[in-house]
Structure 1
């Protein structure tokens, strides 16, 4: 079978080794005579999957014991509501740094729950950059500061994080979690939809400082209460069992590859190949993000005109590439090079970009 050269922004590529192992176990997981999607979430087999997945994630990201790991549903979009519902304290405000569409949506949902304000924004330059720490205006009494660490649509990424805040730092890491080491003590809560760097769609990872669980009021609906999910070990209701199983396989793959430090080296190398093709093109390709804010996960760029863009995308698809169209809100082109995108596929794309430029 000829595999596509997959650069989709999400759901995105999965490691071929993961897909092969899942295919092998699809009808008979560890000799139990059932596939994972058929297992009871109360069975010993699935409880072992659930715990192993948490332990793998804790080891890979060096998550301290005073943080809880939750596997939830509803994607990052549900976390836009759950975060303020659980963490926004009465009489206080939540602060948001706007760096793109998803942070805008997070702020909008928080404002439905309580007072939420903009602490900094790069909207004035069409989200081409990440605000500096000195630009962030956050009040000491804020319940938390929210950031989106990687912006898939605009191709920007935080390369360092605010330190020494008087309030918890909350981060949407849906599109760059597991791509670099993290200092977890800098964060109060991290959330990430799995469908970019962790696995298939269907499961959302939440990593929360245990002290923050005390903010979850008993009057919250149970399904929207972090404390309830923590107490039930993410088994309050039927979890997305197959997605958690795939998450486990991806984490096993990452561990075998050499862990997060190795994944970071790979992402730096892959992104450098594509940015080099852009920077050496004498303006034929123009990157959207300012250089110091460039994402290593989503490389966004435009060509000189719409006709060239159409031709580029058409020829790319004919050559086996998929997912290179820019987001409908900004147009242009975008190559998403998450952890599972092989280096050889990125090399082929860089060669294609250079070849297309020389022919046009």
Structure 2
């Protein structure tokens, strides 16, 4: 297989920086890929990453940190561990909808508030049934380019304080700050904002979610092997292990990324992400052949920009980029033939974005 491109603006898997490539080389040279996931070497790697995550995002001590295979698996785990009968999902694109479908597939009743693609739900003016045990939302809906403002999450938490809240942060974490206390479960994959290869998921699980799972288990409700109790046992007593054979390489890489972000300052990274996003939106708003898909500037994603081009312009600019060995990320689903999505993550440099603009300027 030949090298597909030199630079990608895909929203995930996204560009891998040289420093991460150096980490991969170090892991290979030191045989990290072959250590036993039940041995002391892996325990050291896992413990390092758990502690680095906890420090970077100020994850409270009573929140558990679990390694999974993906955010998609996170849907399944939440459905089995947190919902006996009913849930409520805010849907504003493909991925938030997929979680609702996952809940339904497990025989749960999932009430939905559905916003049109390119718009955001009115989270605080929706009637959520008192029977709902879990509220789900996507912090950054990658398919459409909308983002839930942080103050909306805080107000939603206050309004429905008796209900569990699970938030997908796959395409925002690693490029933003988060208040972990504002939800019971945060889950993500690492191939987007973290700038790592695909194949690793992470969950931050709070005490109320742990208690709910254990209460369901005591009722002998089916949770499968991957229940929070089993997952907690593997991590406990200084083992820092997983039920499955984990992605050891990515766990190591994630720990290294956390350390770098800690040195840079997570708020500094977040601020730079916002500044670059503003510059890019201004650029495309003034472009004769392109415009941001999301009309409301207050809910536009600073992490994964969705830009409307039209089918003919899309073909033209993609071909032009390809000639320079650059990949433009495609729109998702029904937007695939008319839109592009642009990653705005720390792995991409200011120079990379100047190159992107040049493609659209000439």
Q: For the residues of structure 1 that align with 2:8 and 2:184, how far apart are their CA atoms?
A: 34
Q: Any residues of structure 2 matched to 1:115-264 within 5 Å, and which?
A: 115-123=108-116, 127-160=117-150, 161=153, 162-164=156-158, 165=160, 166-198=162-194, 199-216=196-213, 217-218=216-217, 219=220, 220=222, 222-233=224-235, 234-258=241-265, 260-264=266-270
For 2:95, the equivalent position in structure 1 comes to 102
* Contact preservation (8 Å) 1:98, 1:118: no
Q: Secondary structure at the match of 2:275?
A: helix
Whether 1:270 and 2:288 are equivalent positions in the alignment is: no
Match of 1:56 in 2: 52
TM-aligned CA distance change 1:350 to 1:308, over 3 Å: same
Query: 2: CA distance between counterparts of 1:2 and 1:95?
Result: 41
Cα distance in 1 for partners of 2:255, 2:324 equals 33
Deviations 1:119-173 (A, max 9, x none): 42213xxx11211233332123311110011111211111221231231211111
> Partner of 1:329: helix, strand, or coil?
helix
2:328 counterpart of 1:323? yes
Deviation at 1:174, TM superposition (A): 1.0
Looking at structure 2, the residues matched to 134 and 241 of structure 1 have their Cα atoms a distance apart, in angstroms, of 41
Q: Do the aligned partners of 2:187 and 2:204 also contact (CA within 8 Å) in 1?
A: yes
Distance 1:129 1:328, change over 3 A: closer
**CA gap 1:307/1:38 in 2 versus in 1, 3 angstroms:** same
Q: 1:76 maps to what in 2?
A: 71
TM-score calculated relative to the size of structure 1: 0.88
User: Offset at 1:243?
Assistant: 1.7
Determine the structure 2 residue equivalent to 1:294.
Answer: 300
TM-score, with structure 2 as normaliser: 0.88
Tell me the distance in 1 between the aligned counterparts of 2:306 and 2:325: 19
Root-mean-square deviation (Å)? 2.1
Using the alignment, how far apart are the partners of 2:356 and 2:212 within structure 1? 47
Output the CA distance in 2 between the equivalents of 1:7 and 1:242.
Answer: 23
Q: Number of aligned residue pairs: give it.
A: 340
CA distance in 1, matches of 2:83, 2:333: 33
Matching residue of 2:238: none
Question: Is the partner of 1:26 in helix, strand or coil?
Answer: helix
Describe the superposition over 1:62-81 as per-residue Cα deviations: whole angstroms up to 9, x where unpaired. Answer: 111111000012x2222222
Structure 1: gaps (5+ residues)? 29-34
Displacement of 1:245:
1.3
CA contact (8 A) 1:128 1:293 kept: no
Superposition deviation, residue 222 in structure 1? 4.9
Matched residues in 1 for 2:202 and 2:126: separation?
27
Question: Following the alignment from structure 1 to structure 2, what is the Cα–Cα distance between the partners of residues 2 and 99?
Answer: 32
Per-residue deviation, residues 17-56 of structure 1 (Å, max 9, x unmatched): 121132134122xxxxxx1111111222211110110111
CA distance in 1, matches of 2:4, 2:191: 22
Q: Which runs of 5+ in 2 are unaligned?
A: 236-240
Q: Distance in 1 between matches of 2:348 and 2:181?
A: 30
CA distance in 1, matches of 2:11, 2:100: 22
Once the two structures are TM-superposed, the CA of residue 307 in structure 1 deviates from its matched residue by: 2.0
Dislocated runs of 4+, deviation >4 Å: none
- Give the distance between the partners of 1:246 and 1:194, measured in 2 at CA: 10
SS in 2 for 1:163: helix
- Deviation of 1:211 (Å): 3.1
Aligned partners of 1:287 and 1:302 also within 8 Å = yes
Q: Aligned pair 1:336/2:343, yes or no? A: yes
